[in-house]
Structure 1
């Protein structure tokens, strides 16, 4: 594992929901795979070391079933280069697809899945272009969609979203949505991203 891995790239959400393509990508580059560790969260991950400082990780999200990959390390320029290479070689959801798909879905279950992908594929820092589709989902008439949108904010971990989720926890009309939002408020507070 790298000594300094505080910088993470944006996650690329794989269209193929399994390990195959990412594994092949890592093997083509002859990156050695690190032994798997059980995080205890139910999240499954595979990690390849590119060098002493840079890692390629693929994670299966337990809630959505989506697979995403990203790089972390300390050399930002190298991370940007690697992410661009991965985006070209892997079949991933592109940003325009992530942003547009929530508007195109009419089935609530498919909309939920598109919102999960939106959150997983969001950059690690606040990006205004991701807000309109997320805001629509947070205000959706279907409580299942609102609850999924609240959960999606945990993928994003943007401090700017904390007040929105906190307001949902305190005042959404559906108790299930309130309960989901309360869980996410706790996640934000543990990460130091919300008020204490």
Structure 2
């Protein structure tokens, strides 16, 4: 009963977080001097990293796939802009398929005319999760860079490091009767192309 209530509270917090980011998105849109819209797609690598408290070392497992999405790019100044995106990702591992929604909000700075570095929060929502111990929703920090091939087409690479523990209630028992917390996070690596309308 308490676990169900805790999970419901977590889902409400997740919805508030998404609503808050959308509020920021619309505020920036109204503040920005100009904006562009486009589509993006590319390679998506999902990385699950896990560690056990009080035991050194950690393990990781990766799954490869693709992502597709839409984005807006809004100027904040001569060299600064903000680029919120909504992506659908799918990965494959040993005959199993995983699906997710990603919401990166990247702050971009142009070092030179055609090359920018970027960083910002990344929200992710795992779709179709049937594991009670794993939280569907997570927060990460993304960073990367992009090169504008021409006025419409850009090449982007990005890495997102998971910040939130996705298994806060998961423990492991020992033969001596002790228990250890199992902590896990989700990371993402992407390489793709963006097309500006």
Q: Shorter chain as normaliser: what TM range?
A: 0.3 to 0.5
Q: Which has the higher helix share?
A: 1
Q: Which has the higher strand share?
A: 2
| The structure with more radius of gyration | 2
TM-score, normalised to structure 1, is 0.36
